[in-house]
Structure 1
Amino acid sequence: MKRKIDLMVFDLDGTLAETGRDLARSINFMRRKLGLPNLSEEEIKSFVGDGVKELVVRSLGEKGELYDKAIEIFLDHYRSHLLDSTYLHPGVEECLEHFREKRKVVLSNKRQEFVEKIISAFNLQSYFVEIIGGDKCPFMKPNPRLVVPLLEKYSVHPERAVIIGDGINDILLAKRAGMISCAYLNGLTKREKLLDLKADYYCDSLREIKDFFL
């Protein structure tokens, strides 16, 4: 039986778009500039999800004293290369079109300028009532205070709102806010970690979501 919803909240990195390779390339460019060896793409992808500061800190490891220079190098490079290899996941446009009449929001811990640039590059902005990056609000996922203003603004009860994401923070946010959680299993987070969280719904493609909700 399909569940009725009034608000859909989508993650960006690893959910709507596969952004991991461009992030990894910019991180490794940063590391090389600092005289550090490359990290594997998979390791860098495991650092994604808590915003750019944590991504850079984790990528520096024990070289945290280089942070100020590192963040500048990373941001300058990523700003120019964030669309080199990034692409939409299969089924994204089909899903968004199917739910065109529903209120939809992009909610990411990624910087606002980068979120907007990626959404605009794929002409998705018309599907969303709001696009919210990690530096637009005082809170970040999985803090439930991040979504309270959205629920209040659109007069939506938490149990009629769903968060769709590939990250641990997406599922934790939904649970802490009393919202429906839907985990996308083909993103940046290893599926075993997502399965352990016992989300309300799981999907291998965003196309499947139209079978879950009304």
Structure 2
Amino acid sequence: MRKIRTGGLRRDMKAVEMMIFDFDGTLVNSGDDLVSSVNHTLNRLDLPVLPKENIIGFIGDGVQKLIERSLGDAFPEHFEEAMSIFTAYYTEHMLDTTDLYPGVKDILEHFRDKKKIIITNKRYAFTVQITNSLHLTHHFDEIIGVDSRTYRKPDRRLIQPLLRQYGVSPEKAVVVGDGINDVLLAKNAGMISCAFLGGLGSREELLSSKPDYVCETLPELTRLFC
């Protein structure tokens, strides 16, 4: 069985030139604001609200899938109205409680000489509004939202142009994220996968996907990559 390397080990650090980060559940803890926005939407539609853990489990494939899954049997009848309600509410409340995970700014500064890109299944405008408010934007060479490209995670065609653009080989690039799509994106593109176990994603699902590396906290990245 292949050994998964963790942030607790200093040996066997991997040299990388590019770091690709997921957003929700990796750089920012945005779960509560997404949950409250979904339940506001369901309440406005006179539909039963959902437990937090259910909604958290729906996050990762973009807002359309989030709403579709949250509606359940009420999809697709209420989908368009739900999208409208959610978008209006989340636009006003996306920063009510959303904040950085511990160590994010230190990590980004530590790896300041690496190419760094955010790739998220969140809409670009939402992502940049949060990165601007939390003073993250300047750390990244690019921010790519679900509506920024034709392809979305985990399609390798999302990554290949970036590798060519920056002249980085796949084995010198790592994807760090809390979701199965992040691990699959790395695997599909021949890149290094690093699962963040302290985010919103399912720990069991991440470990079962057999990532190359795992970390419980983001500061552990300094002991995995150089």
TM above 0.5: yes
CA deviations on 1:29-65 (whole Å, 9 max, x unpaired) are 0000000111011100100111111000000001011
Q: What is the letter of the counterpart of residue 182 of structure 2? A: D
- Say which of 185, 188, 194 aligns to 1:176: 188
Q: Aligned-pair distance for 1:189?
A: 1.1
Does 2:68 correspond to 1:57?
Answer: yes
Equivalent position of 1:14 in the other structure? 25
Distance 1:152 1:211 in 2: 27
Corresponding residue of 1:32? 43
| Separation of aligned partners in 2, 1:132 and 1:206 | 21
Length-normalised TM-score, structure 1: 0.99
Runs of 4+ aligned residues of structure 1 deviating over 2 Å after TM superposition are none
Equivalent position to 1:205, from 217, 220, 226? 217
State the Cα RMSD in Å. Answer: 0.6
Query: Residues 7-30 of structure 1: CA distance to partner in whole angstroms, max 9, x if unpaired?
Result: 000000000000111001000000
Residue of structure 1 equivalent to 2:6:
none
| Residue 152 of structure 2: aligned partner | 140
Q: Percent identity?
A: 49
Residue identity opposite 2:199 in structure 1:
G
Q: Distance in 2 between matches of 1:41 and 1:179?
A: 33
**What does residue range 1-214 of structure 1 map to in structure 2 within 5 Å?**
1-64=12-75, 65-214=77-226
Unaligned runs of 5+ in 2: 1-11
2:33 partner SS: helix
Distance 1:79 1:185 in 2: 28
SS at match of 1:140: coil
Q: Distance in 2 between matches of 1:142 and 1:202?
A: 18
User: Hey, what's the Cα distance between the residues in 1 that align with 2:21 and 2:60?
Assistant: 13
Equivalent residue pairs, number:
214
State the secondary structure of the residue aligned to 1:37. Answer: coil
Q: Alpha-carbon deviation of 1:91? A: 1.3
Question: Could you tell which deviates more after superposition, 189-198 or 102-111?
Answer: 189-198
Structure 1 residue 103 displacement after superposition: 0.7
Structure 2 distance, partners of 1:41, 1:56, is 14
Residue number in structure 1 paired with 2:3: none
Q: Measure, in 2, the Cα distance between the counterparts of 1:42 and 1:72.
A: 23
**CA–CA separation in structure 2 for the residues paired with 1:109 and 1:192:** 21
Secondary structure at the counterpart of residue 61 of structure 1: helix
Deviations along 1:75-106, one digit per CA (max 9) or x if unpaired, are 00000000001011111111111001111001
